[in-house]
Amino acid sequence: ETGVTQSPTHLIKTRGQQVTLRCSSQSGHNTVSWYQQALGQGPQFIFQYYREEENGRGNFPPRFSGLQFPNYSSELNVNALELDDSALYLCASSRPQEYTEAFFGQGTRLTVV
């Protein structure tokens, strides 16, 4: 086990709704990254948080937003859900400044109907 936990594990939402996904990072890791993995694809980088600030963003629209809290846990918020947002959302924690391996949580499988 990586020590990275995500909730919920599964979620079904309707197009146009908003969703919040949560992640608790591994002890000692203060950097959290979020990825979206569509079926048959590799994970795509959404953004990263370090010390409660966004520290890099991938090619995702502004309706994807996030937060990091003082305990390094993080949230991913997606507004105005679209059918194509259906995917596995993965959170990964790592230590910054000495790029190390990223360890993933079990993911949240989001289905938008």
Partner 1 sequence: RKEVEQDPGPFNVPEGATVAFNCTYSNSASQSFFWYRQDCRKEPKLLMSVYSSGNEDGRFTAQLNRASQYISLLIRDSKLSDSATYLCAVNPGNTDKLIFGTGTRLQVFP
Confirm or reject binding of residue 40 to partner 1 (CB under 8 A): yes
Q: Do 51 and 74 form a contact (C-beta atoms < 8 A)?
A: no
Q: How many CB atoms lie under 10 A from the CB of residue 91?
A: 29
Q: Which member of 45, 60, 73, 75 binds partner 1 (CB under 8 A)?
A: 45
Query: Is residue 16 helix, strand or coil?
Result: coil
Confirm or reject binding of residue 60 to partner 1 (CB under 8 A): no
Complex with partner 1: residue 46 or 81, whichever CB lies closer: 46
Q: Which member of 20, 44, 65, 73 binds partner 1 (CB under 8 A)?
A: 44
Whether the ω angle into residue 8 lies within 30 degrees of 0, i.e. cis, is yes
Confirm or reject binding of residue 58 to partner 1 (CB under 8 A): yes
Q: How far is the CB of 76 from partner 1 (least distance, A)?
A: 15
Complex with partner 1: residue 19 or 91, whichever CB lies closer: 91
**According to CB under 8 A, which residues from 76 to 105 bind partner 1?**
88, 90, 92, 94, 96, 99, 101-105
Q: Are strands 53-57 and 44-50 parallel, antiparallel or unpaired?
A: antiparallel
Q: Which helix (H) or strand (E) holds 63?
A: none
Q: Do 74 and 34 form a contact (C-beta atoms < 8 A)?
A: yes
Confirm or reject binding of residue 55 to partner 1 (CB under 8 A): yes
